[in-house]
Amino acid sequence: MTIKSVRGTHDLLPESVQLWQRIEASARRLFELYGYAEVRTPIFEQTELFARTIGSDSDIVQKEMYTFSDSKGKSISLRPEGTAPVMRANLEHGLYHDGGIHKLYYIGPMFRHERPQKGRYRQFHQVGAEVLGSDHPALEAEVIDMLDRFLEELGATGLRLLVNSVGCPTCRPGYVKLLREELSKRQDDLCPQCQRRSETNPLRVLDCKVPACQPVIDELPSILEHLCENCRQHFESFRAYLGHHKIHYEVVPRLVRGLDYYVGTTFEMVSSKLGPTQNAVVGGGRYDGLSQLLGGPPVQGFGFALGIERLVVLLEETQDSQLPRPDIFLAYLDEQALEESLQLAQELRRQEIFAYIDFQGRSLKAQMRLANRLNSRFTCIIGEEERKSGEFPLKRMEDGHQVTLKRKAIASYVRGNHGPTR
C-alpha cells in the first residue's frame, strides 16, 4: 500500500501554489511599505511558552497542541500560534531596549490537533504582523488599513470588519463580575460548556456559537458600557482614525478574547462564505500584558494573524489557478539543434526570460502541441538553417505574427511584446 499524507495536512501542488505565492508576495511587498520587517522564529518552542501565554487550562494547550518530550525529557510543542514566539524573540534579543517601535511580520505554518474541516487543517498557515512599543490608536487603525489594502489587492471581497474594546485591568474585572452575576441567573438556559465557563471565564460565554445560548448572550450587559475613561477614549479615538482611513466597521460588543493579557482594541474580519462558525479570516488585538507574562518588562503590542487556508477558500472562487506560462518555447528539429536551443535558452534565462525546452524527444508536431498546451507566448523552431544563419523565426502564438531576429535581439523583443494577457 502506498503511504498517504497525515490527516489534517495537505499538499500544495503547483496549480494552487501560485495563489499562495501571490498572497505571500503581496504581504511582503505591502507590509514593507508600512514599515514592517520579517521575523522568522522556530517551528517548535518550549511548551511553557504557550502554557503561560494561552493558559495551561485552555483547549489549545490541553488538547490541540502537538507536544512531545525531546531526548533530554524537555517538553517541546509545535507552535499553535505566532504572537507568543515573536514576543519571546523580542525579549530574548532585547529589541525593546532602544525604546522604539518595532513592526514585525511573519509567514509560516502553525499546528493544532483539531477536527479537520473546510479551510481548517492541523498544519495551517498564517500571515501575521505585530507592532511592539506603542499603544497609539492611530497605529491600530494603520494596521487595519494595511490589512484592508492587502485583502483588496488580492481580490478578497465581502469581508466585514468587526471591532470592540475588551477593557483593561482597571475596568474589566468589574464587568466580568457583573457578567458572572447575570449568567448565574440563566444557568438553565445555557449549554453545558457555558455553564462551566460562566464560573471559570465568563467572557468566553460571549464567544459561544451554540444556538440555544444566543438569546441569553443577546441580553447580557455590553462591555462598552463598563469601560473606564481611558479605555473609552482610546476606543473612540481608534474609531475616529478608522473613519480617517474611510474604513467601514461594525462595533460588536460580544467580540472578546478570553485571555487576560488582551486589553483595549480587538477586531476580526469575517466572511459569510466560510460558514456560520468558522467565518473569521483575520483576528487581532492589543496584548499589552503579554510581555510581563513571559517575565519581561511592560511592552505594548498590537497585531493580527490571518489564516491563509481560509483566505484561499475566499479567493479560489474568483480566480483560476494556472501554471506559469512560458515566454518562449524553443522547438528543435534534431540533436544539433537541441544543443543550439540549450545555449539560447541559457542566454534568455539569464535575461529573465522563461524559455521552455522539451526533453522527451517529441516530433516537431508534438512539440508544437505541447507549446500550445502550455500557452507559451512565443515559439521558435530551430533547425540547421537557423544554426548556420544565426537568425531565428519567432512566432507570436496569440495571432500568428512572425518575425526573424538575430539571437541577441530575442530577449528584448519578447520582453517588449508582453501582449494583453500579461
Name the site residues for Zn ion (rule: CB under 5 A): 167-168, 170-171, 191, 194, 208, 210, 213, 228, 231
Rounded to the nearest whole angstrom, what is the least distance from the CB of residue 271 to Zn ion in the complex?
A: 23
Of 288 and 340, CB closest to Zn ion: 288
Rounded to the nearest whole angstrom, what is the least distance from the CB of residue 237 to Zn ion in the complex?
A: 14
Of 210 and 323, CB closest to Zn ion: 210
Within 10 A of 1 (CB to CB), how many other CB atoms are there?
A: 3
Q: Please, what is the Cα angle at 172 between 199 and 174, to 5 degrees? A: 70
Q: What is the dihedral of CA 135, 141, 146, 147, to 10 degrees?
A: 100
Using alpha carbons, list the distances in angstroms from residue 368 to 23, 67, 344, 406: 33, 54, 18, 22
Of 18 and 195, CB closest to Zn ion: 195
Rounded to the nearest whole angstrom, what is the least distance from the CB of residue 136 to Zn ion in the complex?
A: 16
CB-based contact 345:357 (threshold 8 Å): yes
Of 101 and 212, CB closest to Zn ion: 212
Of 183 and 397, CB closest to Zn ion: 183
Rounded to the nearest whole angstrom, what is the least distance from the CB of residue 163 to Zn ion in the complex?
A: 16
Query: Using the 8-state DSSP alphabet, how is residue 2 labeled?
Result: -
CB-based contact 259:54 (threshold 8 Å): yes
Of 15 and 236, CB closest to Zn ion: 236
Dist. CA 240–CA 238, nearest whole Å: 5
Q: Read off the amino acid at residue 187.
A: Q
Rounded to the nearest whole angstrom, what is the least distance from the CB of residue 421 to Zn ion in the complex?
A: 52
> Which of 267, 254, 263, 206 lies closest to 231, judged by CA?
263
Rounded to the nearest whole angstrom, what is the least distance from the CB of residue 230 to Zn ion in the complex?
A: 5
Rounded to the nearest whole angstrom, what is the least distance from the CB of residue 197 to Zn ion in the complex?
A: 8
Coil, helix or strand at residue 85: helix
Locus of grid cell 467572557: 203
Of 197 and 377, CB closest to Zn ion: 197
